[in-house]
Amino acid sequence: MKYHFRIHAGQPEWAECIELEGCLTQGRSRTELVKNMHEALNLYLEEPESSKVIFPAPTRTPKARNIVAVEVEPGVAFALQLRQSRLRSRLTQQQAAQMLGLKSLYSYQRLERRGNPSLSTLKKVKTLFPELSLDAVLGGA
């Protein structure tokens, strides 16, 4: 899963995510800017589990100058997709935990916060939310 930043020249250079309003950063050098874009994107998407925000999906790589694709960390991408799938299904975290056969609400909440699920949990999640794209989580789409 990759979002796109438009880089603006200046001292310091700064960049804004074109899909996520308000996600921006700056850096004193191009190297620092690239590092900061990655950090800003992941922090922006890593929202509190109580949030009801459904972020727009990344667009295909725009054909414009000064556009850089920034990959979302897999743990953040999984948590984001899981949270958004649950919200679209109008389930509470408690309901999702029960439907996945998890022992506690906390076990589910960890999945929505940079989760690192086991393969058996991934299989259950994919069954409950078939629209969740593991390819996007792993950077393939």
**Which amino acid, one-letter code, is at 14?**
W
Res. 140: pLDDT tops 70: no
Q: Which of 20, 48, 71 is the last residue of a domain?
A: 71
Q: Which helix (H) or strand (E) holds 77?
A: helix 74-88
Q: Which of 71, 100, 124 is the last residue of a domain?
A: 71
Q: Quick one: 55 and 102 in the same domain?
A: no
- Output the CA torsion 104→119→41→27 (10° steps): 120
Predicted pLDDT at 50 = 64
**Which amino acid, one-letter code, is at 5?**
F
Res. 49: pLDDT tops 70: no
pTM: 0.84
Q: Quick one: 19 and 65 in the same domain?
A: yes
Q: How long is the chain?
A: 141
Cα→Cα distances 10→27, 45, 66, 74, Å:
10, 26, 13, 32
Task: Count Cβ atoms below 10 Å from residue 90 Cβ, excluding itself.
Answer: 7
